[in-house]
Amino acid sequence: MANILAVDDSASMRSMVAFTLRGAGHDVDEADNGRNALDQAGGKKYDLVLADVNMPVMDGISMVREMRTMAGYSGVPILMLTTESDVNKKMEGKAAGATGWLVKPFDPDQLLATVARVLG
């Protein structure tokens, strides 16, 4: 099973993601903004990072850009959690180095299907 880092400033969203993935047998750590996510990723190797776009302190796109420069993270899947109204954000995320995205709102099944797609 995979080590996953869930990054979102919304505690309810974060716990939904973490709870769902833990239920599927993954180890999940949480971070509430991009800066803290980078700190955590520096201390532990994750197999997958799921990150919200809009966050205080450091947003998800800046986080991806920096994470791609970190040792061991050049090819790790990073998925942006974005909304349908953020069409540009998907592209910005990709340009920054994100692997793909998961469109909000998503339900636990969609989350698991998308995670299976990158870990498969």
Partner 1 sequence: MSKVDLAQFHKAFHEESLDGLDAMEQALLALDEGAEDPELINVVFRAAHSIKGGAATFGFADVAAFTHVAENLMDEVRSGRRPMEKAVVELLLRSGDIIRDMLSLQMAGQPGASAESQALLAELSAMVAGGSAVPAAAAKAAAPAEAIEGWDIAFRPFDYLLKTGNDPARMFRELQGMGPLSVSTDASALPPLASMDPTASYLAYTLGLAAGAKRAAVEGVFDWVDGDCDLTITPRVAAPAPAPAAAAPAAPAAPRAVREVATNSEASSVRVGIEKIDTLINLVGELVITQSMLSQFHDGVQDAQLEMLRQGLAQLARHTRELQESVMSIRMLPISTVFNRFPRLVRDLAQKLDKKVVLDLRGETTELDKTVLEKIGDPLVHLVRNAIDHGLEVPAKRQAAGKGDTGTLRMEAFHRGGSIVVEVADDGAGLNRDAIVAKAIQRGIIASGDGMTDDQVAELIFEAGFSTAAATTDLSGRGVGMDVVRRNVMDLGGTVGITSKYGQGTTFTITLPLTLAIIDGLTAAVGEETYIVPLVSIVESVQVKAENVRSVVGGGELFRFRDEWLPIVRLFDVFGCSGPRRAVDEGIVIVVEGEGTRIGLFVDELIGQQQAVVKSLEANYRRVTGISGATILADGSVALITDIAGLVRLQGRRKAA
Task: Kindly list the residues in this chain that would bind partner 1 in the complex (CB under 8 A).
Answer: 9-13, 15-16, 19-20, 23-24, 32, 54-59, 61-62, 68, 74-78, 83-85, 87-88, 91-92, 94-101, 104-109, 112, 117-118, 120
Q: Answer whether 46's CB lies under 8 Å from 78's CB.
A: no
- Shortest distance in whole angstroms from residue 93 CB to partner 1: 9
- Shortest distance in whole angstroms from residue 72 CB to partner 1: 12
- Shortest distance in whole angstroms from residue 71 CB to partner 1: 13
- Shortest distance in whole angstroms from residue 37 CB to partner 1: 14
Q: What six digits make up the tokens of 75?
A: 């090819």
Q: What six digits make up the tokens of 65?
A: 């850009």
- Residue 28: phi and psi, rounded to 5, are -125, 130
Helices (H), 44-77: 60-67
- Residue 59: phi and psi, rounded to 5, are -80, 170
Nearer to partner 1 among residue 9 and residue 41 (C-beta): 9
Helices (H), the chain: 11-23, 34-43, 60-67, 87-96, 108-119
Nearer to partner 1 among residue 43 and residue 75 (C-beta): 75
Nearer to partner 1 among residue 23 and residue 42 (C-beta): 23
Nearer to partner 1 among residue 12 and residue 43 (C-beta): 12
DSSP state of 5: E
